[in-house]
Amino acid sequence: MRRDMDLIRQILLEIEEHSGNAENLYIKGYSHEQIAYHVYLLHDAGLVKAKILYGMGSVNPVSYTVFSMTWMGHEFLDACRDEGIWQKMKEIVEEQVKSAPFKILKGVLFKLVESKVSLAIQ
């Protein structure tokens, strides 16, 4: 399954809305399997603390419980919360390289936020 950064962002927004913990999230347009896999990715990346359950004899996550968002999860969510900044980051990345590692996406988001704040204080 391919990583979907829009789904990653949406899951973080949902977790925040549920006071940091969540299970069996419903996100329109995505299957339970897609959401479970992306919660696993968020946990693996250190953005959330979660318990991931796997199917019998399977390496695919089938269920999860998110206990909390980590500091880095909050940092990333704060950087991508604004829809305009999120779309601008996607435009920049897709225009230049089509796809990029998380570290690059996060860096672009942080630069866009920093630029917006810098303009506001000038």
- Taking only the tens place, the pLDDT of each residue in 45-59 is 999 999 999 988 888
- Same domain for 35 and 61, yes or no, is yes
- Same domain for 51 and 20, yes or no, is yes
Please give the residue range of the domain that contains residue 103. Answer: 82-121
Integer Cα distance of 49 and 68 in angstroms: 5
pLDDT on residue 22: 85
- Same domain for 43 and 96, yes or no, is no
Question: Domain for residue 62, yes or no?
Answer: yes
Give pLDDT < 70 ranges for the chain: none
pLDDT on residue 122: 74
pLDDT on residue 111: 96
- Same domain for 98 and 45, yes or no, is no
Question: Domain for residue 97, yes or no?
Answer: yes
Contact 32, 24 (CB under 8 A): yes
pLDDT on residue 96: 86
pLDDT on residue 120: 81
Question: Domain for residue 75, yes or no?
Answer: no
What pairs with residue 63 in β-bridges? 53
Question: Domain for residue 38, yes or no?
Answer: yes
